[in-house]
Structure 1
Amino acid sequence: MTWNDGLATARPNVPTGPTVPQGVPLWPAGGQNPPQQGLKLGAWRLDCANASHMAGLTYAFLVFHLLLWTVLATLSHRAPPWDNIEQLVWQQSLEWGYYKHPPFPTWWVHGWTELLGRKMWVTFFSAQLSVVLMQLFIWRIALMVTTPARAFASVVLSSLAIYHGVHGIMANHNTLQLMPVGLLLWLTLRAVRGEGSAGQVWRWALVGAAAALCLLSKYSALIWLAVIGLWLLQDARMRSWRAWGGVALALLVCVLLVSPHISWLTQEGSPGLNYAGRAIQGQNDPDQIDHWGRLAKFWVIQFGRVLPIFLGLGLMLALLRRANKKVGQAVDEAAHPVLDPAGERLSASSEWRFVLFMGLGPMLLTTVLGVLGVRLGSAWAATYFVMAGILALACLPLKPPSASPQFVRSVLWAGIVLEVLLALGMALGSGWLADLTGRGARSNFPAAKLARQLDRVWEAQATTPLRVVVGETWLAGNVSVRSKYQPLVFIEADTQKSPWIKPHMLEDCGALIVVDGRDLAEPMPAAMRELLDRAEASGRVKLHWTRLADRGPQLDVMWAVLPAQRPEACPR
């Protein structure tokens, strides 16, 4: 089967080069050379009309995006966001489900930690890699509706969304669903476009596998499947039983791949459905505003999270206007090749309708659910703006043409400047400014110092290696990740939340119990209280929260050591 979708050749029905009326020379007479179409980037001269060159520039920009956010987050954070710690805790064991969410994002993080180590920066990398792969798949769709240079512009604009940048370092189930969603959309469009081709059966099977990955990432994938279903119903290429046979195959593959998770979800005592039900009813969100206020808040938050795309558009337009003036002063209008304007416009094809459905459908459908009474969470829309970069192309002018160096240079500079500003804002706000203002945030939490002190406490009190740390996910997870022993985390002493903890572990090796001093005034889970009552030794670790000893709160952690009953059975 072939997968060519316009990268090396012109996209279907959309011209990508100059169209010259019969009898009109492409370049003016008189022996003049054609205007320079190359864009010089260091030692590399880019031909902006060459699809392969634009592909190389797109790949380079995606690598820049991945490295920028990963490196700056690693340098600025002393501890990752709460969701990243949660994934580092859950990935201690590969399960078919975890007490709050489906398993695929945790499998994804597990794979990268197995390869690169169970470290904070790996969570930033794995989250942003999901963003970059999503952008890669959506870029392939963009090539079907516009020119390669404008498809590159769509990638640049998409990268500016808060969900793909600032929130893109969060290894939560929203960010880690981006890659499966992008893959599903690209494979679906490829399957519909390939009706009658030799590889059609395999294409629909792959669509089913991608749909399964989306559902195994987060149940909000049902919104995407509903929108895709509506698009299939209206597409003329699906008006045959053979076409719907492919959809049936995709559904079958999806159900088969998801069935182990469904079995886990429906087993007696499984917490997954309870958590999902509370999320739909808004019980996981303490916000108590009324129904319409909540719906308005949802839309306001989404506007704020795509606002950088509008800022990017504004900067691009300003740079393009400046480029137009320079070209108008330096080069006679007759020196430019005659371009077919249709080559610069977005296609009015079925592929463009697909972009409209996938760009607008999820938000509209979710809004309808909100109107009907579902209490919407702002993070539900994290994957809804994957097409935003393509939709934004409608605001870019046709002059200078996308194959011109002026256009590509303007897009590239706008993207780099705003990406760097956003990433630096995240890094400074999470690191230096948090310390300077004396703010005790998760990003400047002294995880390494705390873990070193608790390692010394354990070594002074116990005769076995530290194999289990008991406590709340955030605190115990940070200790586990930074400890030289890399112990397993027993989340709140709850076996349902921590299936990787076996009954004999505490008896063989004992455990270190950690509790944030601020939580001691609150009711403690009964299982945690029982373990504390069995502890042989206890104490407190106190240290400055921020990097500046004279600013910020003091971290106060109570520790307790649960003795090993069979130390000879504890692995060394």
Structure 2
Amino acid sequence: MPKNDPQPDRRLLQLCLAGIAAITLWRIALLPFSTAELFVDEAQYWFWGQELDWGYYSKPPLIGWLLRLSTTIGTDSPFWIHVPLAIIHAGTALLVMATGRQLLGARVGSLAGLAFATLPGVALASLLVSTDTPMLFFFALALLAFVKLGKKPSTAWAVAMGAAIGLGLMSKYAMIYFPVSAALCAFLLPSARISWRDAGIAAVVALIVISPNIWWNLSNDLTTLQHTADNADYRGLQLEFGKLLEFWGGQFAVSGPVLFAAFLVALRTASRRPETAFLALMALPTLVIVSVQAVLSGANANWAAAGHIAAVLLGMSLLVRFPAWLKASFAVNGVLCIALPVLVIFADSLRIGSGNLLMDRYIGMRAVSERAATIAEREGLDTLVSENRAILADFFYTLKGSDLALYSEPPEGFPKHHYAQSHPLPREGGEVLYISKKAKPPARCAEAEPIETWEATEGFFVGTLGAFRLPRSCWFDE
């Protein structure tokens, strides 16, 4: 490990810590001015927090618990729903910094922590509610524990690694990439091998932490696992290399073009040092596995988020040797880091030319819910129903505290979403107000005519929406 002059290293550490704090405060300070509404997933995660459980339809439970804690401390406003994400990313940056200082020296580690805080993907994720955010925190904690255990056996660090793996899995199942990558490191690198005792402790602790979610899945027809498998969407062998290129383009967007390019270049010589070989092996399995998924049926850029913890560290180990490129990386990522929190302030007006809103997916949901409530009141109905997950997600958020009963269209077969699983329309009761996109009635009442239709001209629900006054016999035999 290189020897560093402690004075400059201390100043750099202080500067990087101040940078992480300033970035985090910038993100939090601008949140109250955001005009963006809750996206479908965000509203759903908030709703999970209202009904605490050990698991949910599409994800493990920790994101719901997190939002329940935050909104209990504050309110159900978008600010309190979003604020913990920025704080968690700051914590992840500090863990990345600590790991880098252990592996690569004080200078590289400090800069890597600041670099993580400024990643375009982190800047965007700090403004959204994503299960990646807590998962990445626990991935970084598990990585730090793994590095510590490689240096010296420790019961405390073994427990920490196991708890981090378990809590990461309780955040998002993509945390499974950590034990896969760690096992590969231990197999190929003697320096990455920890004692069997510590590995056993970590495995037991991880299993204990994740066991309630396993039990929940077994009690609910393996719902979350089945949904995760459905997302993989394998339909025979169809190689789509265009989607692979799209996925890899997304990786440059996540970490920034300069930093991710540095990571790829650093891979060429990573095997020369055990520290860089370790980081390469902690990053590559995730990227390779998701690349295969991309070729077979497509993959979102964030599906490989777990690989970017080690990628940032490895990329920074190269960039510190090229000051001009290091400055370029921070300049590009820094501009995006500052700009993105500003953009959400203008979510309801920012557009390219005369086209739709640039952030259309975050606008227009509330208007649909409020119009549906107005129609229900006019018609003397107390029950709203829809089959659309996005409509239902906003119903439950925007209309919270109202006297309206909110339900999903009852499913036929395996439910399509959380609301169909947990809040299907019951058989008992009177007529309902059914809200649908494209003004389309339920299949069993295909001849029904809407009592009102309207056009959403911009935002998430662009197109025709319809309201139908329907008897429950549309879904149940009388």
Range of TM-score over shorter length: 0.7 to 0.9
The within-5 A match list for 1:244-255 is 244-255=196-207
Q: Deviations over 1:123-157 (max 9, x none)?
A: 43233333332222111111223454543322333
SS of match in other structure, 2:58: coil
Pick the aligned partner of 1:170 from 128, 131, 134. Answer: 128
Preserved CA contact (<8 Å) 2:432 2:471? yes
- For the 8 Å contact 1:430–1:443, the answer to whether it is kept is no
1:500–1:278 CA distance, 2 compared to 1 (3 A): closer
With over 3 angstroms needed to count, the CA separation of the structure-2 counterparts of 1:543 and 1:502, relative to structure 1, is: closer
Distance in 2 between residues matched to 1:376 and 1:82, nearest whole Å: 21
Query: Aligned partners of 1:235, 1:488: CA distance in 2, in Å?
Result: 58
Q: Distance in 2 between matches of 1:104 and 1:443?
A: 25
Is the 2:96–2:109 Cα contact (8 Å) retained in structure 1?
A: no
The aligned counterpart of 1:226 is: 180
Flag structure 1 segments of 5+ consecutive residues without an equivalent: 1-12, 19-47, 314-345, 401-405, 564-572
Q: One-letter code of the match for 1:377?
A: A
CA, structure 1 residues 430+393, in 2 after alignment: closer, same or farther (shift >3 Å)? farther
Provide the rounded CA distance (Å) in 1 between the counterparts of 2:432 and 2:132: 32
Show structure 2 runs of 5+ residues with no match: 263-269, 473-478
AA aligned opposite 1:483:
L
CA distance in structure 1 between the partners assigned to 2:150 and 2:282 by the alignment? 15
Greater shift in the superposed pair: 155-164 or 243-252: 155-164
Is 1:490 the counterpart of 2:407? The answer is yes
Secondary structure in structure 2 of the residue aligned to 1:251: helix
Q: Is the 8 A contact 2:217 2:224 kept in 1?
A: yes
Distance (whole Å) between structure 1 residues aligned to residue 32 and residue 99 of structure 2: 32
Matched AA of 1:480: F
SS in structure 2 at match of 1:220: helix
Aligned residues: 457
Corresponding position of 2:232? 280
Matched, 1:556 2:454: no
Q: What code does the residue aligned with 2:93 have?
A: Q
Q: What residue in structure 1 maps to residue 87 of structure 2?
A: 129
Q: What letter is aligned with 2:239?
A: D
Which one has the bigger helix percentage? 2
In 2, Cα distance between equivalents of 1:209 and 1:68:
31
**Aligned partners of 2:287 and 2:307 also within 8 Å:** yes
Q: 1:520 aligns with which of 440, 447, 452?
A: 440
Match of 2:146 among 188, 195, 200: 188
* Alignment check: 8 A CA contact 1:538 1:561 kept: no
Work out the CA distance in 2 between the residues paired with 1:500 and 1:215: 22
Partner-residue secondary structure (3-state), 2:309: coil
Structure with bigger gyration radius: 1
Q: 1:102 aligns with which of 43, 52, 60?
A: 60
- What letter matches 2:465 in structure 1? D
Q: Structure 2-normalised TM-score?
A: 0.77
Q: Is residue 215 from structure 1 mapped to residue 172 from structure 2 by the alignment?
A: no
**Equivalent in the alignment of 2:8:** 49
What CA deviation, in whole Å up to 9, does each residue of 1:355-402 have, x standing for no partner?
A: 3322334223544x559x8545233212221233322324435587xx
| One-letter amino acid of the structure 1 residue matched with residue 156 of structure 2 | W
Residue 265 of structure 2 is matched in structure 1 by: none
What is the Cα-based RMSD across aligned positions, in Å?
Answer: 4.4
Identity of aligned residues (%): 15
User: Is 2:449 the partner of 1:540?
Assistant: no
Contact 2:63 2:171 in 1 (8 A): yes
Residues 144, 239 of structure 1: CA spacing in aligned structure 2 closer, same or farther, 3 A cutoff?
closer
Q: Which residue of 1 aligns with 2:110?
A: 152
In the alignment, is the contact (CA less than 8 A) between 1:134 and 1:182 conserved in 2? yes
- CA–CA distance in 2 between the matches of 1:76 and 1:260? 37
Structure with the bigger RCO (C-alpha within 8 Å, sep 6+) is: 1
Q: How far is 1:227 from its partner?
A: 0.5
Residue number in structure 1 paired with 2:335: 417
TM superposition score normalised by structure 1? 0.66
Q: Is the 8 A contact 2:162 2:205 kept in 1?
A: yes
- Structure 2 CA distance for partners of 1:513 and 1:147, relative to 1, 3 Å: farther
CA distance in 1, matches of 2:380, 2:69: 33
